[in-house]
Chain A
């Protein structure tokens, strides 16, 4: 009998499965309803949205899907929302999945976690449970979530899980509203609680095409300043970039998708539709009549879609520092292949700030000779010399940038059917 840690097992399995198309990891969005109304969220709907509720997959449909996922060889499951505990039957679905032997990660905001739920999770422990913390003070947290009392409920959820020794991790979405508390959130997680912490400064438009989340998006300089301030991130990014640069330049792939989506993973949204990932929602396929057929036909076809043109991303060697992907292109530009300027800006600035040279990769305004190259050089210097100092950031003057800003609520991508 061989005893393996999950990490060792995962590395071994991925190596053995390399090159074989098989859905090892599946993300399941159980609902888009959520008790919070976060300004930056890409998919949340009100708790009382009866239309949304009526269109969600039923408990039995979830059970059937899990049966099929076992047959398809899926091993890692991610349950996400909306807020997963907004569904009263979530623990029923979760327990069914546990009994099938999936390794399950839960994404939650923690505000609906009660003693009863925490005790239940102790009895049936998840592989990981990640709570998103939106601020380190009540004022900031609730300025982003828009719900009075939510900060205390989140802290209660964290406490209940922590007391039980559950595999908790904290994370935050850094926005213009809470950026000044990212450092304090990290200290709270790592030093006070002794749990892992990560932040993401990249915000997407909503899946219904609204650009409203972008009103609270950080500037590229702020995103990279937070990276550089994080004791671990620069080293990790540098190592990833060096590895990418050292490898042979990949032959320009002729497909739109180069990620694991549709190859070793997929997502099922709250409506019971399979897509490449949770944020790519322009092309999804009903799974109620069975997942395997969709995986083998519609999703395969989508995954193999050929790109239609060469862009500056095609030969770029900064993939390890960049979040550009077809889903981001789709959401921000209405076109999977169209580079997202914000992400390109962040990637080039990140490289400059940590001392990674960017090989020439076509007509890029952020590269040597490009019309915005000097911006990159100057901002990287300001970050390195701490002229942009995350520890001196204060609370923003304007806590609610979306309110009274009608222009931001208008869908801009033009490529999807708003739902």
Chain B
């Protein structure tokens, strides 16, 4: 799996930990809506990449988005994709990281601040997500 950093700026890039060491959650600045059978992500607050756009997901994207209701590591997201579609690990890695990468670039998901993988138990992660609401 390729490591990756959020696309903030070239100068900032080096200061971010690798993708595999982070935990991600949906941004509080967007909400998802089901409209006409489609999952749409609507930016609702300033500071989201492009407020003049909305985003729609394919089936895999919707699955990952659903999983990100609570903080998840990349590995967990890959496992979700693998389990749902019975695809090769390599394909699941590719799909999950690319999707995560795209979402980070436009601010739809955020890395939980300073939370390395495995340092946060599931119950704590749920608490984190609930508290942020």
Contacts and interface: CB of A to CB of B under 8 A. Distances in A.
Interface string B3-21: 0000000000000000000
A73 B54 contact: no
Interface stretch (B27-35, B76-84, B111-119): B27-35
Interface stretch (B38-46, B67-75, B86-94, B121-129): B38-46
B44 A98 contact: yes
A45 to B, nearest CB: 32
A359 B102 CA distance: 54
B102 A1 contact: yes
A247 interface: no
Contacts of A123: 45-46
Given A101-B44, A103-B42, A75 B35 contact: yes
Interface in A152-209: none
A417 interface: no
B54 A9 contact: yes
A259 interface: no
A5 B50 CA distance: 9
A9 B106 CA distance: 18
A150 B64 CA distance: 51
B56 interface: yes
A101 B33 contact: yes
A6 B103 CA distance: 18
Given A99-B31, A101-B31, A16 B42 contact: no
Most chain A CB atoms below 10 A, which of B32, B55, B103: B55
A235 B47 CA distance: 38
Contacts of B44: 98-99, 101, 124
What interface size band does chain B fall in? 20 to 34
A395 interface: no
Interface in A83-105: 98-101, 103
Contact of B52 (A2, A6, A101, A124): A6
Among B40, B42, B44, B52, the one with the most A-chain Cβ atoms within 10 Å of its Cβ is B44
B45 to A, nearest CB: 6
A124 B45 contact: yes
Given A99-B31, A122-B46, A124-B45, A1 B36 contact: no
Contacts of A13: 35-36
Contact of A3 (B42, B45, B106): B106
Nearest to A74: B35
Interface of A: 1-6, 9, 13, 16-17, 22, 70, 73, 75, 98-101, 103, 122-125
Given A5-B53, A9-B40, A100-B31, 10 more contacts: A1-B56, A1-B61, A2-B55, A2-B58, A5-B52, A100-B33, A103-B42, A122-B46, A124-B45, A124-B46
Interface of B: 31-33, 35-36, 40, 42, 44-46, 50-58, 61, 99, 102-103, 106
11 contacts: A1-B58, A3-B50, A3-B54, A3-B106, A6-B52, A16-B36, A73-B35, A101-B42, A101-B44, A122-B46, A125-B46
In the A-B complex, list the 8 residue pairs whose CB atoms are closest, starting with the nearest.
A101-B31, A101-B33, A101-B42, A1-B102, A98-B44, A2-B56, A3-B53, A75-B35
